[in-house]
Amino acid sequence: MKSLLNLILDLISWMYNLIKRICLQLFEKFLEINIFEKSIVFTTVLAFAAVVAPMAGYMIFDAYFTINNPAAHYLIGIALAMLVTVYYPGFISMMIRVGINLLFLIDIIYLQAAHEISKAPYELTAGYYLNVICPVVYIILALGSKLMRRDS
């Protein structure tokens, strides 16, 4: 029984050290990237806030209901793509970043312009504007990162 407990403790210790090494390597790589790439990592927090925030709201019988983001799963994918491409610099990476963010931005603007968020009459909330701001910021940071890399 004691050897089994020692084996379990050794396994947990090994897994902890492995996770610690991976996190340290990621942190060291993070310190090496430029300021625009670091800003992309921090903007991911804004993207996840945009995912959970309601896009619109409406009143029914003195009760306020909110409408969730119908394109939230796309923004999660965009945030993950932006995080992954931080470690793969280059022109193709920049084009992927700008392309997917531009498509998402067009989609979000179209949802509002075509009144497709909901069939009920609604008012836009801060979540909608976060969904517009996130891809714009991502596009600016991706272009800035590429321009900074080109100059150096």
> How many other CB atoms are found less than 10 A from the CB of residue 105?
18
In this prediction, residue 70 carries a pLDDT of 78
Q: Which residue has the higher pLDDT, 18 or 47?
A: 18
Q: Which helix (H) or strand (E) holds 145?
A: helix 126-151
The pLDDT score that the predictor gives to residue 41 is 81
pLDDT for res 150: 61
Question: Phi/psi at 64 (nearest 5 deg)?
Answer: -95, 120
Q: How far apart are CA 84 and CA 93, in angstroms?
A: 10
Residue 42, CA distances (Å) to 36, 57, 91, 137, 138 in order: 10, 28, 22, 11, 11
Average pLDDT over residues 104-125: 80
Confidence category of residue 143, pLDDT binned at 50, 70, 90: confident
More confident residue, 83 or 106: 106
58 Cβ contact partners less than 8 Å away, ≥ 6 residues apart: 64, 65, 67, 118, 120, 121, 122, 123
What's the chain's average pLDDT?
82
Global confidence as pTM: 0.73
CA distances (Å), 115 to each of 47, 124, 136, 141, in order? 23, 11, 21, 30
Q: What is the mean pLDDT of residues 81-90?
A: 79
Tell me, what's the pLDDT at 16?
93
C-alpha 118/C-alpha 108 separation (Å) is: 13
Per-residue pLDDT of 30-40, as tens digits, reads 788 778 878 88
Q: What DSSP state is assigned to residue 152? A: -
pLDDT tens digit sequence for 43-72: 888 888 888 888 787 777 877 787 777 777
Based on its alpha-carbon atoms, the radius of gyration of the chain, rounded to whole angstroms, reads 21
